[in-house]
Structure 1
Amino acid sequence: MKKNVAIIGGGPAAFLLAAFLDADKFSVTIYEKNKTSGRKFLVAGKGGFNLTHSEAVKELIHKYTPDDFLTNALCHFNNTDFRIWLDQIGIPTYRGSSKRVYPKKGIKPIEVLHAILQHLKEKNVILKYEHTFSDWDSCGNVIINNQSISANYTVFSLGGSSWKVTGSDGSWLDTFSKKGIKTNAFQASNCGYHINWNTNFIKKNEGAPLKNITITCNTVIQKGEAVITSYGIEGNAIYGLSPQIRKQFQVNSFASVYIDFKPSLTLENVLSKIQLSRFGTTSDILKKELKLSTPAIDLLKTYLSKETYLNTKSLAKNIKKFSLDLIRTTSLDESISTVGGIDLKALSDHFELKKIPHQFCIGEMLDWDAPTGGYLLQACASTGVYLAAYLNKIH
């Protein structure tokens, strides 16, 4: 006789769990509180639909914080496995120049979602919309739409606390805490950061990009692009440093990061180009010799003293290591993802809640972190498939 699996939440982790559960062993129902499923999945796709990242698995694992919790799941269902499965359901992929993996050109996020949902339909997975989890009854069964739901296995895939418009509001956190399950408060990740900009500087440079830079925090270096905003800075060159920046905020009222405006050159190369340049003014040397952008030059001119700016050695050092102080993150709702949620120590190696047998948590509701670029979606998929393999094995 088939066992019943109740999956609460209709996102990527839930989809992959349902897709890989053995249909001969389990009857699967997904309960989604929205009128449709995959809303955050679609919103994420608007900014460049990274399905996963193509780097070697050994490197992939170390992009996560902590870098050991997801190892088994990522090795069991890695980025290559994910691409193979997507191709099998009619979504061919390709690797971009950044090593990020995208659906084949012309395939929209909604088409990817429809392909996944069609696959689940073919496996007789039932999706019930406008069904909201609120608590547990006295017998430990989950309560959905004020009714107790009895299942052999219950899996929570409730997401984090960013982009509340998609339903990912983290409202479940207190319910789990009251149940005695250890949770951690949500914090913004892959987000923008506030800076006390000079008024004249921001009037000239709001919205301008800083391209081909690296930003360093606590010895961790992130390469990419950042955008100067009215409130501070955002972009992939800062997003990937979220764990390191949070550590500084825990002990200080600010976090210090360092911009390298010319990561392709050594300090000696930069100094030599300045000293040997045929251009007469410092601004011309920076613009024409070193090819620095106007926003980068304005940053140096605005925040360095006149003496530092005109001294070739100190200027070269600041081009390679320009200090910038961040004062706080943007709000949870403005962040791409969040950390916090279910404390990892509350789970077994197979994501089972230690306090409630046969009930599991997967995906972004767990307290792990990852940069943008396909890593978030890959981990959600991997946790779902890994749990499916475990359930398939024990039955």
Structure 2
Amino acid sequence: MPPFDVPEGDPFGPHNLPYGVFSPPGSSEQRVGVRLGDHVLDAGAAAHALGSPYASLLARPTLNPLLAAGRTAWSDVRRALTAWVTVPAHRETVEPLFHPLSSVTLHLPFEVADYVDFYASENHARNVGRIFRPDAADSLTPNWKHLPIGYHGRSGTVLVSGTDVVRPSGQRKAPTDPAPVFGPSVRLDIEAEVGFVVGAPSELGRPVPLGDFRDHVFGLCLLNDWSARDVQAWEYVPLGPFLGKSFATSVSAWITPLDALEEARVAPPERTHALLPYLDDTDEEPGGYDLRISVAVNGHVVSEPPFSTMYWTAAQQLAHMTVNGASLRTGDLYGSGTVSGPAEGQRGSLLELTWNGRDALELPDGKRTFLEDGDVVTLSAWAPGPGGVRVGLGEVTGRVTPRVDPSS
């Protein structure tokens, strides 16, 4: 099928146009691409052929120059791309610049600067509290309703979808063990999240207010923050996650621009506690996004978490991340934290789905409490778009591979 002939209702139609970085068949050269249906447009080549003033931003091996250019450039480039793939007068020029998606190699679409992971789902936080603090009067920690809790992760281990994840090793100690042991994690988990990609940087010492969110954040993607629960449980008191999280974070090869998600914007859940002024979004535009996520293990759907239930919005997370004066850099990535809904079939981690290993999942290929070697985890999602059409988010997939002993 010719690249322009996208079936009606395709979630990757001209209303979407997510950005990625690809190599054409037989080449190692990395190029900025835009997805249309089952094809990838060489955006840099199209910009050059059509005389775009933004050709230099698109003829790069990464999205970072475009990200750094700011909101006006993002909007101009998106309008141009939409015209290039929809206006018949451009068809003869643009059509030869498409590649079948199945024929290209996809890469990490941007150079990650800093990585922060949040803890923004009340359902997830309450489930974790009930699992680990069953006798507590409140399953939430005292600060949870007052600020978006987060931690700094490791940007160097952010991986593009399709990259294998090697089972991590570390110290682990069960409550009944007399001493810690070292070895591969036996409680390897996933966290279904949404990642937000920062474009325009900010000045050191100047917090980013809620209303400036769309001036700094270019787009979003699905994110799987793999977690070694046994390593994490032993190490995280009192400073929080470290080796249990830093070994791998998988992101989609496609970044969906915020402008493609206008129809998906929704109000967040009702606030139950008064917020300090820098987080108070009462008079701000709706900060939530109606994203319908699906989590599959070995092709079998185990959960469908709704992102619309997230208590803390991406704008509040950005405001909190910078309120102390910390600056943003182009390529900063921050994750929403595990997305979990109120129902059992909407939980975004195996920790919750199996209630810390108590209740095994029944899969076609056997029972699971946590991930086994060879398991493949896939996150996919869609959002409401214009005229009732869906906006597809690029999937995130990763296969667990066994730890290799370097001495063997």
* Superposition TM-score tier, normalisation by shorter sequence: under 0.3
Using CA pairs under 8 Å that are at least 6 residues apart, name the structure with larger relative contact order, 1 or 2. Answer: 1
* Larger proportion of helix: 1
TM-score, normalisation: structure 1: 0.27
TM-score scaled by length of structure 2: 0.26
